[in-house]
Amino acid sequence: MTDLSGLISAAVAAKMTPEFIEKEVDARVGKLIVESVDKALRTWSDTGKLIEKAVEEALRVERIDLPSYGSVVAGMVKAQVEANVAEIIAGRLKEDVEQLLSLAPKTVKLSKIAADMIESRHGEGWGEVITVIVEHTDYGYVRVWLDDDEVIEPRDKYRCAVNFSLDKDGKIFSATLEGKDIKSAQKLGGRYGLEQKIRAYYAVGTIIEIDEDAVITSIGDC
């Protein structure tokens, strides 16, 4: 009886010529690397380790005695990574920076921040719908508390979802978002809301103008 294992090994060896390997790897590795890098950057994972693991798993050939082809594949993958990863990362970061800048103008009025907070609450009736509390300190800086989900009394201001401090130039120098220090935040993008905008203002150095007389916190106010 013919050794089936021997037939399979012979067929595989005959098929996997250097030309075949080069053609198939080139056709797939580029796309695989692009998808791996993009996914890694979007989830803030360890990019290098994820790419290495994903490529290794996708291209692993087990129980076939063709060690020379393993070297060929490894060399081609390395070349693809070196040629493409830097460009891919640069493009992805460029996209993130452009998104960040679109959220963070050079200057913004507190009344505009409040108006954006109210925008998503229209259709919920009339009256107070958001919280905006401003406190001018004796030390020359301003504290602001914001909440776009509920109306909170000044005595309970620390319940607000967002609070930040502005220096004498109107730039945020400290902030807390949902109880977390803004400096420890790991993510800038992904959610178009109040918190993301405050992160963007902080990152870019947006000047926030405190126009308290113009701040509207109710639906139906003129």
- Do 81 and 115 lie in one domain? The reply is no
The confidence band for 119, taking pLDDT boundaries of 50, 70 and 90, is: confident
| Domain termination site, one of 80, 101, 122 | 101
- Do 174 and 212 lie in one domain? The reply is yes
What confidence score (pLDDT) does residue 55 get? 58
Rounded Cα gap, residues 203 and 52, in angstroms: 31
Helix, strand, or coil (residue 208): strand
Domain that holds residue 25: 4-101
Rounded Cα gap, residues 76 and 132, in angstroms: 58
Where does residue 75 rank: exposed (0-12), middle (13-18), buried (19+ CB within 10 A)? exposed
- Do 68 and 32 lie in one domain? The reply is yes
- Do 122 and 164 lie in one domain? The reply is yes
Number of domains, the chain: 2
- Do 194 and 123 lie in one domain? The reply is yes
| Domain termination site, one of 43, 69, 101 | 101
User: pTM of the predicted model, to two decimals?
Assistant: 0.55
pLDDT digits (tens, 9 = 90+) for 131-182: 999 999 998 899 999 999 889 999 999 999 999 999 999 999 999 998 889 8
- Do 153 and 69 lie in one domain? The reply is no
| Domain termination site, one of 74, 101, 128 | 101
What confidence score (pLDDT) does residue 31 get? 75
Q: Regarding predicted confidence, which is higher, 66 or 11?
A: 11
Rounded Cα gap, residues 143 and 121, in angstroms: 24
- Do 193 and 156 lie in one domain? The reply is yes
- Do 96 and 137 lie in one domain? The reply is no
- Do 202 and 143 lie in one domain? The reply is yes
What confidence score (pLDDT) does residue 63 get? 54
pLDDT digits (tens, 9 = 90+) for 80-111: 766 666 666 666 666 666 666 667 788 999 99
- Do 14 and 94 lie in one domain? The reply is yes
- Do 125 and 214 lie in one domain? The reply is yes
- Do 70 and 126 lie in one domain? The reply is no
Planar angle of CA 61, 64, 68, nearest 5 degrees: 80
Query: What does the pLDDT average to over 12-16?
Result: 72
Phi, psi of 90 (to 5 degrees): -60, -40
